[in-house]
Structure 1
Amino acid sequence: MTAFVFGIVAVILVWPAPSWLASAQWPLRAPRAAMALWQSIALAAVLSAFSCGLSIASNMLTLDEQGRPVANPLEEVATLGIVRWTAYITVFLLTLFVGARLIYSVIRVSMRTRARRSAHRQLVDLLDRMDRSAPDSPLSARDVRMLEVDQPMAYCLPGLRQRVVLSEGTVARLTRDELEAVISHERAHLRARHDLILEAFIAVHDAFPRFVRSRSALGAVQLLVELLADDTAIRTSGRTHLGRALVACADSVAPSGAMAIGGPSTLARVKRLSDTRPTMLISTLAYTAAAAILVIPTLAVAIPWLNELHRLIST
């Protein structure tokens, strides 16, 4: 029963829950609380999946009074029955698959992304056309680079050597205040290390089989990351300047591994700038749900194992 419950919880947290949350409108008003809820769902899904495998493994082994296995799992066919034994083995192997895929995805995404960023950072430094003769200009900062491109383009390259990359088309279209809003938006990504959040969600998304994971989850998290950076730009430059900058850079693109200020979510982000309704109640409910989703599966896993450890130590 424990393995069954953990399995159901893992499936719910991987598929229906993310699909519902991705289609909801309230995260646009409270992106920070929504991000906390997304992170708790992802972590609880992984914990529930592993807990399901651990519960099955414990059911497949006959333990003595000291908790040591005394039987081979293959010998449990007669005790459990072929149907139940096959179901146990299938789910257990699926859990191992998810764990292996998660480790592989984390390593693959991390290595590939950093390799692309390093190569692109070197290229940007070589092609930089920035004139830093005006010390009071926002463009004279050491981390800002400008490329000789007419198309509006603004993005950032996270890492140890962070870069904010603009095109000549962006600089020509925007006023000083709008440029400051764009740079503030990109620096918010860099300070908060939103790239690490996205990498973690990509790894979790790739770890679970396609038939159970939500397709819209990753896109929803990417939108929340942009909203969080927008909120920082609002505090430094105001809603009007940020809104004009978003419209001017709506078709901005970025290379793989970078985060552009524009994109398909620009319209929703511009509309959001006019919404000034209070979000205290929504944020409180979201944080409460995030804590419950994360704490309940964790306690459900920890308490039985702590009890078993206490029993083994006491004997």
Structure 2
Amino acid sequence: MASVWLTGLALVLAGPVPALLARARWPRAVPRAAIVLWQAVAAAAVLAAVGSALAAPEALLRVLTHPRERTGFPLLIAVGVAAVLAGLIVVRLFGVLVLLAVRTRMRRARHRDMVDLLARAEQNDAVGSLRAGTVLRVLDGAVPFAYCVPGRVGREGRVVVTGATLDTLGPDELSAVIAHEQAHLDARHDLVREGFTALHKAFPVVARSREARDAVALLLEMLADDAGRRRHGDDAMAGALDAFASRGGEGTEHDDVLLRRDRIRAHVQGGRALSVGIYLAAVALVVVPTITIVIPWLTDALQGLRPL
């Protein structure tokens, strides 16, 4: 039964739970805690899938054989099949993560070199004093835009803005944008996004969902918005987002900017009680299945496989 419960849990955590969580409004009030909850959902789904792969051969052995026959060659086959199934899941996830990390870092290295080459030095110096320690690059561009390029060991990341951003935003708004991007770099939000992108690619197509990846990406932006708000105020951060939204265009990215702007203007902010409750729920997602399903299964399996 453990394999059935773990399979069902993995499917629920990979499908219905992300769909419901992505539609919820309360994560916007506590983005940090909500990201931890998303990470717990992902970890629990992977652990349940691995546990199901380990438990299924043993459960099949129990159904097909007499207790006296659960030793020797049948037991060896069950253990081997379980190891192979679980190993395939782990190796695929690890392989996707490593490949994604290597490709991403190569692409970022080229990107950093490119923005360093194309940056307008006179404007870099003009706004470079806005935030000590920030490596800022200004590129030609007629549309207000800002982003960051994470660094690597021994190299700093870059905060990149267009010339139109300098022309459009006021000093406080520009400082809020730089604080927003620097928050991404300081907290290494790129690593969180990489993890969810790897999970998305590693899951089979039938169980794959973009909801977790996209929801976490939006929550990371809200978390960085909060860093800009703390340093320079709600009006500055909301004004900058309003300028970015007014550049035109349609689609999910534009809608997300509007959502973030409206969130700030509505002063959406959750309390400590909500955050603590979410953190406890995240811990429970991993701990409860372990205590109620995995440990009893291991205990029963070990007892059942002892020589009679």
TM > 0.5: yes
Which residue of structure 1 lines up, in the alignment, with residue 93 of structure 2? 102
Q: Deviations over 1:37-91 (max 9, x none)?
A: 100000000000000011123345689x9xx951247988xxxxxxxxxxxx999
CA distance in 2, matches of 1:114, 1:198: 13
- Report the aligned-residue RMSD: 3.4
CA distance in 1, matches of 2:141, 2:131: 16
Which residue of structure 2 lines up, in the alignment, with residue 71 of structure 1? 73
Structure 2: any 5+ residue segments left out of the alignment? none
Which residue of structure 2 lines up, in the alignment, with residue 152 of structure 1? 144
Secondary structure class of the residue paired with 2:147 = strand
CA spacing shift, 1:60–1:34, aligned 2, 3 Å = same
Shift of 1:251: 7.0
* More helix by percentage: 2
CA distance in 2, matches of 1:100, 1:136: 45
Q: Deviations over 1:233-277 (max 9, x none)?
A: 110011100011011123789xxxxxxxx7441111011112345
Q: Please, which of 105, 112, 116 is the counterpart of residue 107 of structure 2?
A: 116
Which residue of structure 2 lines up, in the alignment, with residue 243 of structure 1? 238
CA distance in 1, matches of 2:103, 2:33: 30
Moved more, 294-303 or 163-172: 294-303
Which residue of structure 1 lines up, in the alignment, with residue 198 of structure 2? 203
Q: Output aligned runs, 1:278-297, within 5 Å.
A: 278-297=270-289
Number of aligned residues: 289
Moved more, 288-297 or 120-129: 288-297
CA spacing shift, 1:53–1:251, aligned 2, 3 Å = farther
Contact 1:130 / 1:139 at 8 angstroms: preserved in 2? Answer: no
Identity %: 39
Secondary structure class of the residue paired with 2:204 = coil
Contact 2:10 / 2:48 at 8 angstroms: preserved in 1? Answer: yes
Code of the residue aligned with 1:111 in structure 2: it is V
Contact 1:178 / 1:245 at 8 angstroms: preserved in 2? Answer: yes
Which residue of structure 2 lines up, in the alignment, with residue 39 of structure 1? 39
CA distance in 1, matches of 2:279, 2:37: 7
Code of the residue aligned with 1:237 in structure 2: it is H
Code of the residue aligned with 1:207 in structure 2: it is A
Q: Normalized against structure 2, the TM-score is what? A: 0.82
Code of the residue aligned with 1:166 in structure 2: it is V
Code of the residue aligned with 1:200 in structure 2: it is G
Shift of 1:285: 2.3
1:185 equivalent in alignment to 2:180: yes
Secondary structure class of the residue paired with 2:279 = helix
Which residue of structure 2 lines up, in the alignment, with residue 164 of structure 1? 159
CA spacing shift, 1:74–1:94, aligned 2, 3 Å = closer
Code of the residue aligned with 2:16 in structure 1: it is P
Contact 1:181 / 1:242 at 8 angstroms: preserved in 2? Answer: yes
Shift of 1:201: 0.6
Contact 1:154 / 1:167 at 8 angstroms: preserved in 2? Answer: yes
Shift of 1:105: 1.5
CA distance in 1, matches of 2:246, 2:76: 59
CA spacing shift, 1:134–1:306, aligned 2, 3 Å = farther
Q: Normalized against structure 1, the TM-score is what? A: 0.80
CA spacing shift, 1:139–1:91, aligned 2, 3 Å = same
Contact 1:30 / 1:283 at 8 angstroms: preserved in 2? Answer: yes
Secondary structure class of the residue paired with 2:186 = helix
CA distance in 2, matches of 1:20, 1:90: 35
Shift of 1:278: 4.4
> Which contiguous aligned blocks of 4+ residues in structure 1 show a shift greater than 6 angstroms?
73-76, 89-94, 306-312
Structure 1: any 5+ residue segments left out of the alignment? 77-88, 254-261
